[in-house]
A and B are shown apart, each in its own frame.
Chain A
Amino acid sequence: MKNKIEISGLQVHYGDKPALNGVSFDVHPNEILGIIGPAQSGKTTLLKVINRTLEFTPEATVQGSVKLDGVDIDTIGDVYELRRRIGMVLPLPVGLPLSIYDNVAFAPRTAGLRTKPELDEIVERCLQQAALWDEVKDRLDSLGTKLSGGQQQRLTIARALSHQPEVLCLDEFSIAIDPVTTMRIEDVLKTLQTEMTILLVTNLVQQAKRLANRTAFFLNGDLIEIDTTDVIFSENPANQATYDYVNGTFG
């Protein structure tokens, strides 16, 4: 089976401070890969390397290679094309100062789609997938930034889905969403798995347990362990630190 993403020897430094020290692993196609680990372990940095938004941090230096479908992402000439293939949901909900409709339609429009019926369909589908459609379908013209925190978070999920990405990176997407709605989105993610590969960074280890096919445990910029979720959450994972973190006795 061909790997969707191949990461080998990835090192990232912010100035002198290391953020990732030589991480290597593969992501299989159509899997949900849970990424867990405490703060400062390099989870968000990893996602930023994959869609090359780390380039906006001037002091960051990247070594090693990341391959998407066997192609090194550094050799992809059109970085905007690369970013369109990867959906990204950031931990802080960023509603763009546009209407709800325009927020979701932004990426398809950027890619050159202009016809109204097609945009309508994409907007409705994405908002439904993000479990937001019922709450906003009567006020698609109001400002996206006027929504509540949890609604904005779901709006960013809808936005990330709007350009039909091959890889969906979720960085602590459920941070401001109530448990019931979170469960609805998790169900959607399970169905989306057939269309795309999902990287799920989460602080809720139970969420990784519920959703992920495989789980990776990061600690201080090192990949401690990557294995199927059953093994990671079993009584005997390969590394003692993983067991401690997963069972909440870390320290």
Chain B
Amino acid sequence: MNAMTTRAERKQKFVLQGIPFIIFGIAAIPIWKALKKTDAADMQVVSPNVLSMLLNDLYILLSVSCLAILLGIVCAFYLEEWLPKNNWARRLIESHVAILTSIPSTLYGILAISIFFSYAGTLKVIDGAPPAQNTESIPFQRNTTLFCGEVLTFIFMVTPVTIKTTQEALRSVATPVREAVFALGASQWQVLRQHVVPIAFIRILAGGCRAMSRAFATAALLIGIYIWYDTTDAGGMSGRFILFLAVSLFLSVFSSSLTEVYDSDLTQRS
């Protein structure tokens, strides 16, 4: 990576980093209105069935693994292997990834509640039916919006971290190895498929797991806060709390065991 050296490049990066703040600023207006309208009943999770909640969480787990991690990996490969080194799109994506990874994960949870969930609530208000009654009669719709909100939050949390860790994993494949393979007449695709990906694979997997673990820990924390805030549905919620915390713990231990156990072998190989 070439460091940002010239004044003009730094200026460009600064301007590009300003874009998300402007977007957040514009988005803040309807969010503020929505927050004012939201009452406690709107925030309650509807279905009292523990099993359906846990199944819902499993759906989230699957969709997040498919969407967020794949998106992150594809994005990182594009950035590292195809995009020219000195390019405005690269600067745009990398500066945004830097911002998104630096935001504390708890903040994402709070943002998720305030943006996606209450915004979904306002949409229902616009539809004409009061959200509290609507959710009683049609629980499925309510669950779908919740589901989408949760998945979107997870993508925002997981993708940047996956991009970052995948990029680092790809960079860990030493340039001499690439140059040696290229010197033997291999094409870009052959270099990637036969050398870069096998060496970097474990690190990419571990990075994805670590990102997921971060997301699950935040979710568990928020659910924990919810239990203390409102104990009417304590049984179901504590079930989710334990599930999220357990998955988070498992993923973090799994990712570190991946890097400790398998990667030591691979670093010898590369």
Query: A58-B85, A59-B2, A110-B190 given as contacts; is B185 within 8 A of A80 (CB)?
Result: yes
Check: A13 CB closer than 8 A to any chain B CB. Answer: no
Q: Which of A24-32, A92-100, A185-193, A208-216 contacts B (4 or more CB under 8 A)?
A: A92-100
Check: B198 CB closer than 8 A to any chain A CB. Answer: yes
**Could you tell me if B182 and A56 are in contact, using CB atoms closer than 8 angstroms?**
yes
Check: A106 CB closer than 8 A to any chain B CB. Answer: yes
**Could you tell me if B199 and A97 are in contact, using CB atoms closer than 8 angstroms?**
yes
Closest beta carbon of chain B to A5's beta carbon, Å: 17
**CB-CB < 8 A to B269: which residues of A?**
97, 143, 145
**Could you tell me if B2 and A110 are in contact, using CB atoms closer than 8 angstroms?**
no
Interface centre among A56, A96, A156 (most CB of B within 10 A): A96
Interface centre among B174, B175, B181, B182 (most CB of A within 10 A): B182
Query: A96-B181, A145-B269 given as contacts; is B186 within 8 A of A90 (CB)?
Result: no
Query: A58-B85, A97-B269, A145-B269 given as contacts; is B185 within 8 A of A111 (CB)?
Result: yes
Q: Which of A69-77, A81-89, A131-139 contacts B (4 or more CB under 8 A)?
A: A81-89
Report, as a range, how many residues of chain B touch the other chain. Answer: 20 to 34
Complex formed: what's the CA distance from A86 to B184 in Å?
A: 8
Main secondary structure of the interface of B (DSSP, over half): helix
Closest beta carbon of chain B to A244's beta carbon, Å: 33
**CB-CB < 8 A to B178: which residues of A?**
56
**Could you tell me if A94 and B180 are in contact, using CB atoms closer than 8 angstroms?**
yes
Complex formed: what's the CA distance from A29 to B185 in Å?
A: 22
**CB-CB < 8 A to A90: which residues of B?**
176, 179-180, 183
Complex formed: what's the CA distance from A47 to B178 in Å?
A: 17
Q: A residues bordering B, Cβ < 8 Å? A: 51, 53, 56, 58-59, 80-81, 83-84, 86, 88, 90, 92, 94, 96-97, 106-107, 110-111, 143, 145-146, 156, 159-160, 163
Known: A51-B183, A97-B198. 11 other contacts (CB 8 A): A56-B182, A58-B84, A81-B185, A84-B184, A90-B179, A97-B269, A106-B181, A107-B185, A143-B269, A156-B180, A159-B184
Complex formed: what's the CA distance from A247 to B175 in Å?
A: 36
Query: A97-B195, A145-B268 given as contacts; is B185 within 8 A of A84 (CB)?
Result: yes
Query: A58-B85, A96-B195 given as contacts; is B182 within 8 A of A83 (CB)?
Result: yes
Q: B residues bordering A, Cβ < 8 Å? A: 2, 84-86, 174-187, 190, 195, 198-199, 266, 268-270
Closest beta carbon of chain B to A23's beta carbon, Å: 21
Interface centre among A81, A97, A146, A163 (most CB of B within 10 A): A97
**CB-CB < 8 A to A97: which residues of B?**
177, 195, 198-199, 266, 269-270
**Could you tell me if B86 and A107 are in contact, using CB atoms closer than 8 angstroms?**
no
Complex formed: what's the CA distance from A146 to B198 in Å?
A: 17
Task: Name the CB-closest residue of B to A102.
Answer: B194
Complex formed: what's the CA distance from A53 to B179 in Å?
A: 7
Query: A110-B185, A110-B190, A145-B270 given as contacts; is B2 within 8 A of A58 (CB)?
Result: yes
Complex formed: what's the CA distance from A92 to B266 in Å?
A: 19
